[in-house]
Amino acid sequence: MGKKEIAKDYNSTAGIYDMRYMEEQLLKISFILKRVMVHDGETVVDAGCGTGMLLSHLGNGFHIGIDTSVEMLKEAKKRHSGAEFVLGDVEALPIRGESCDKVFCVSVLQLVEDPQKGLDEIMRVLKRGSAFGISLLNKASFAKGIGGRIRGAEAQVYESESMRDVFVMGYKNS
Ligand SMILES: C[S@@+](CC[C@H](N)C(=O)[O-])C[C@H]1O[C@@H](n2cnc3c(N)ncnc32)[C@H](O)[C@@H]1O
């Protein structure tokens, strides 16, 4: 499926996304947020934020949700009026380089045309020494060897029997 079809698909199901996936996504989000701590005042990007579940679990700070589906962003805005929500693509993040304290991307990279570009974008926008938390469906072919695909970072991979994603978390080091 191309980008437009994917956005159309999420636009048409945005209203029922939480009912279908909230339980599953909250498990993943809590797994990530236990390992990548977010502090008040930080600049945080959630790439492919969907309905804004992850951002709604954070305290105060400059929080930006980015997604290619306008309807998912509208749902996110209802949940979290204090964050900025921007229509944009993880493969070309509309964010200045080295400007973020944390970047998350949960269950998104299995959907994108060039997931390596997405990973490189996440590393580009992170400040040096800052942390990221990424997951993608473990059945995606790109998930194999994901740790070695992250350039310029110390990364640790976590696999889970109970969740459908593989997780990679770490720090940008160059
Ligand atoms: C499975 S949902 C995950 C949403 C959210 N991260 C969560 O954990 O609930 C995938 C999301 O990625 C978005 N998406 C798909 N392709 C994208 C892209 N190239 N850039 C940004 N977001 C994208 C979809 O619109 C959808 O909101």
State pLDDT tens for residues 53-101. Answer: 999 999 999 999 999 999 999 999 999 889 999 999 999 999 999 999 9
Distance 106 CA to ligand 1 centre (A): 8
Give the tens place of pLDDT for each residue, 118-143.
Answer: 999 999 999 999 999 999 999 999 99
Domains belonging to the chain, first-starting first, are 3-172 (3.40.50.150)
Using the mean position of ligand 1's atoms as its centre, give its distance from the Cα of residue 49 in Å.
Answer: 6
* Residue in 111, 119, 142 to alter for ligand 1 test, most ligand atoms within 8 A of Cβ: 111
Atom of ligand 1 nearest to the CA of 72: 27
CA of 128 to the centre of ligand 1 (A): 25
pLDDT band at 174 (very low <50, low <70, confident <90, very high): confident
Q: How many angstroms separate the CA atoms of 90 and 67, rounded?
A: 8
Q: Whose CA is nearest to atom 13 of ligand 1?
A: 48
- Ligand 1 atom closest to the CA of 10, numbered from 1: 25
Q: What is the Å distance from ligand 1's center to 172 Cα?
A: 23
- DSSP designation for 89: B
User: Which pTM value belongs to this model?
Assistant: 0.98
Distance 108 CA to ligand 1 centre (A): 5
Sheet holding 165-172, edge to edge: 84-87, 61-67, 42-47, 100-106, 126-137, 165-172, 153-159
Q: Which residue has the tokens 């400007």?
A: 99
d(CA 108, CA 86): 16
